[in-house]
Amino acid sequence: MISDSLLNSNGGKPSHMNKQQLNRVIDSVKEICARSGWRLTEKRRGVLELLLVSEVPLSAYEITDAYNQGTEKTIAAMTVYRILGFLEAENLVHKLGSTNNKYVACSHITCGYKHEIPQFLICGECQTTKEIACGGCPDEQEISISKSVIDELSKLVSQAGYTLMNSQLELRVLCHNCATSKA
Ligand SMILES: [Zn+2]
Ligand SMILES: [Zn+2]
Ligand SMILES: [Zn+2]
């Protein structure tokens, strides 16, 4: 279980979610675990929680450092890589190619969503990342990209004689905060 110091070791930056929200997500993860028959070990949970509270994508090394600063137990970078691979396969975290393969926690863990290819808006200034809405999201203001847009892209790519290998969109944007502070 994540310690408060681990929660606060987020580089002193404001946390992405409070303890209550975090607990709600972890409860959903426990249900997913129970259904899929894998265990939410302390280390898996610690890695996931660090990503859940982070405003920005984190590399495996940044996660390793934060973990080791926040708890008495230490974790090896190799273990973090393995855990990230596992969590990624379960769609609980996603890897972003455009940020040098840093990771973000999935925004739809509590939505009961059968995950499709994730799509993202990534602020080019502060790296704040928004995963696009899933359809089951309670927040209707989230933007979503319909499957037909992705299908269309895929069709255009194949018409040009190429094969689309990864349809994960990572759109570079200016977030509201950065746009305001620039004005
Ligand atoms: Zn997701
Ligand atoms: Zn920004
Ligand atoms: Zn959702």
According to the model, what pLDDT value does residue 27 have?
A: 96
Q: How far is the CA of 179 from the centre of ligand 2 (A)?
A: 7
Q: Residue ranges of the alpha helices (H) in the chain?
A: 4-8, 19-36, 42-53, 60-70, 77-89, 147-159, 176-182
CA 36 to chain centre: 20
CA of 69 to the centre of ligand 3 (A): 31
Tell me the CA–centroid distance for residue 71 and ligand 3, in Å: 31
Ligand 2 centroid–CA 32 distance in Å is 32
**Domain assignment of residue 88, given as a range:** 4-182
Nearest 5°: CA angle at 87, between 34 and 51? 110
DSSP 97: G
pTM tops 0.85, yes or no: yes
Nearest to 43 by CA among 17, 8, 81, 16: 81
**Ion ligand 3: protein residues whose beta carbon lies under 5 Å:** 108, 111, 134, 136-137
Whole-angstrom distance, CA of residue 172 vs CA of residue 163: 23
Query: What are the mean pLDDT values of the chain's consecutive 10-residue runs (183 residues total)?
Result: 53 69 95 92 96 95 95 92 96 94 95 87 94 79 78 94 91 94 77
CATH of the domain at 23: 1.10.10.10
